[in-house]
Amino acid sequence: MFPRLRQALVMLAAAGDRKVAKDLGRKAAVLGARLLRDPESVRERLEGFEAVARLHAEETGSWVSPEAVGKGGPFDACDLRCWLELARIAGVPAVPATEVLALEEHEMALLSGKVEMPDTAPARFARSRAGLLEEALGGAQFDPDPETDLDELHERLYAAMDGVPEGWMVRYARCGSSELKALAGAGAAGPAAPEVRFGPDLEVGPGWVRNGNRRRVHVSDARTVESAAQGPGGKAVFLARPWVEAARFVVGEDPHRHGTMFAGKGAWPAEWRAFVEGGRVRGVSFYYGWCGQATPEDARIALEVRDLAQRVADTASAARAWPRYMDVEFVRFSGNEKLLSDPRVSDALEALGRESVACTLDFIETAEGLMLLEGGPANTPFGGGHPCAFAGCGGQPRFGNRTLVDGVAFRSMPHVLIGDPSTWTEGDREGCILTWEEAEALALPTMRP
């Protein structure tokens, strides 16, 4: 079952990539239609885009490099390298990562591919008026460096994998690939690095593609491309990591596949997410919230996750290293008085202060104990870290869900469907979400004297 399921999931992820490209093409065609009707309104819209781009550049340009994060300053909350450095300083075990490839912005743009606009009159007009678009954006150039040697660039993708051991994964520094998320979410990844074969000369692994006898880094994955566009300027760095086997797997029905031909059980590695606000670990959740269990041993592990995450947060606070996430900063500096006057928004922005440690930290259970897997942005009303089994706590705010409960979420409340945010409302927490005191009492029989 798993081979067929894995093939289907990887093909669906690839179809998702194509859909993103088609959607962009449609948007470009709509822009062309607007140009036909009212070129000046489009100019104004693009000038607004330019203001957003300036804010993005100014904010991300102030972020310190991963190597310097221990010396303090704002940093990219999505960059794995920053969290690995803070974990090293804190003495917290972490799954290591090695840089294998760094691409300049124009190289990344070239490898990401161009969006094909449909052959319609508005689209043709938009192409013919490209000069207007560039002028409105201050002379921005849309095409990558024409002098780039594409053959040499593709060879670098293969060469980057030549030294990566079999059974390892590769990911962009700011996120994992679409295929990896699809396989892991459906409980189809397994204890070894998933490698999905589509024929004698094509195999897809986590973050890489094998053509014949040679592998290459998968750069054009839609999730990677989107994350690169959202992140700071400069080089796009790809990291290789050993596929660390989880100490245990939890089996359950996969809610993502319910009602499909692939409906059935999955097996998920024992992973946990810690939620940090104001430099303090407010909550810990079993990562795959639909299959966790509130047992004494799980409670003990959750408390250990809290302690390890707090060490990382304390290290960041002591260094005055502040994780930043652009979705939050865009809201903060939006100038939208109606939005900013909403108490739920203003309260969230205060909790997610610019000089405050707010983040999510993910851990995996291994034979050697808990290890930091990655860190990321806080769970916010404006995007960021998924609430996992805390989904629904505090109700469903207008601007999205945010963890509002101190304690441990072992599994989702019975009425919550993780894949359907409309169900993320308050309900019966019994046996699912415990306070810290309740979790400590549950873990007591497992504590060593």
Instruction: Work out the pLDDT band at 411, boundaries 50, 70, 90.
Output: very high
Instruction: Give the pLDDT score at 443.
Output: 96
**Which pLDDT tens digit goes with each residue over 315-366?**
999 999 999 999 999 889 888 888 888 887 888 898 889 999 999 999 999 9
Give the contacts of 119 (CB within 8 A, at least 6 positions apart): none
Q: Is the pLDDT of residue 21 over 50?
A: no
Q: Is the pLDDT of residue 30 over 90?
A: no
Give the mean pLDDT of the chain: 79
Instruction: Give the pLDDT score at 16.
Output: 45
Determine the average pLDDT of the residues in 199-222.
80
Cut 0.75: pTM above it: yes
Q: Is the pLDDT of residue 143 over 60?
A: no
Determine the average pLDDT of the residues in 2-7.
40
Instruction: Give the pLDDT score at 221.
Output: 79
% of the chain with per-residue pLDDT over 70: 71
* Highest mean pLDDT: which range of 165-174, 183-192, 400-409: 165-174
pLDDT higher for 133 or 71?
Answer: 71
Q: Where are the domains of the chain?
A: 2-137+145-242, 249-446
Instruction: Give the pLDDT score at 24.
Output: 45
Q: Is the pLDDT of residue 17 over 70?
A: no
Instruction: Give the pLDDT score at 403.
Output: 66
Instruction: Give the pLDDT score at 211.
Output: 82
pLDDT higher for 404 or 424?
Answer: 424
Instruction: Give the pLDDT score at 282.
Output: 95
Instruction: Work out the pLDDT band at 191, boundaries 50, 70, 90.
Output: low
**Which pLDDT tens digit goes with each residue over 244-302?**
889 998 887 776 665 666 566 777 889 999 999 999 999 999 999 989 999 999 999 99
Q: Is the pLDDT of residue 133 over 80?
A: no
